[in-house]
Amino acid sequence: MNYWLLKTESEEYSFDDLVCDGNAVWDGIRNYQARNNLKAMKKGDKVFIYHTGDEKQIVGLAEVVKEHYPDPSDKTNTWCVIQVKALEKLKKPVTLEMIKNEKSLKDLQLLKQSRLSVVPLTKKEFDKILIVFIHKIPEIMYI
DNA sequence: GCCAACGTTGGC
DNA sequence: GCCAACGTTGGC
């Protein structure tokens, strides 16, 4: 299983929107590195949903429900989409500041490459965020 | 193939 | 509003 972080502007499409929709197409990715990450996402992979802009925080947990397929709106056949479903909204969002202040997370690609909108995390990093900030036992997530 | 100029994203 | 860090485009 792999672990990811997807960015979105809450004004554009928020985690609450995803909760409402239950299951949504994650489209609009127009960056090659982000697209390659999309293509690497497998069904069942766990995903943090992060709000950019004024919020700058992880607001929810989601899961990949459908692996990549061509973006129907892209005539050049260059870009693809995936589908995700909301798992749960965080009671307390994990802010970028909290992440930056945690030394063991200093190597997060999220911090090193702030422009990338589809970011991989290692299991270690994902678990760390779950345990330290969300107070969850990772294994429960993986059933 | 190189690079200057310009565009975009996202944090500060 | 600005800037850093990338990406993209187009002239050469």
Q: pLDDT tens across A101-126, in order?
A: 999 999 999 999 999 999 999 999 99
Q: Identify the CATH number of the domain defined by range A3-141.
A: 3.10.590.10
Token pair recorded at residue A117: 């909108």
What is the reported pLDDT for A76? 85
> Taking Cα atoms as reference points, which of A53, A49, A135, A55 lies closest to residue A95?
A55
Distance, CA of A31 to C1' of C11, in Å? 24
Cβ of residue A33 lies below 7 Å from strand C: yes
What is the reported pLDDT for A39? 96
Which comes out higher in pLDDT, residue A89 or A139? A89
Strand order in the sheet with A46-51: A23-26, A80-95, A57-70, A46-51, A3-8, A118-121
What is the reported pLDDT for A141? 66
pLDDT interval class at A10 (50, 70, 90): very high
* Contact residues for A21 (Cβ-Cβ < 8 A; gap 6+): A86
Cβ of residue A2 lies below 7 Å from strand C: no
Quote the pTM value. 0.93
Which nucleotides in chain B have some atom under 7 angstroms from a protein Cβ?
Answer: 8-12
A142, pLDDT greater than 90: no
Cβ of residue A33 lies below 7 Å from strand B: no
Distance, CA of A31 to C1' of B5, in Å? 20
pLDDT interval class at A55 (50, 70, 90): very high
Distance, CA of A117 to C1' of C7, in Å? 14
The protein residue nearest nucleotide B10, judged by CA to C1', is A115
A140, pLDDT greater than 80: no
A131, pLDDT greater than 90: yes
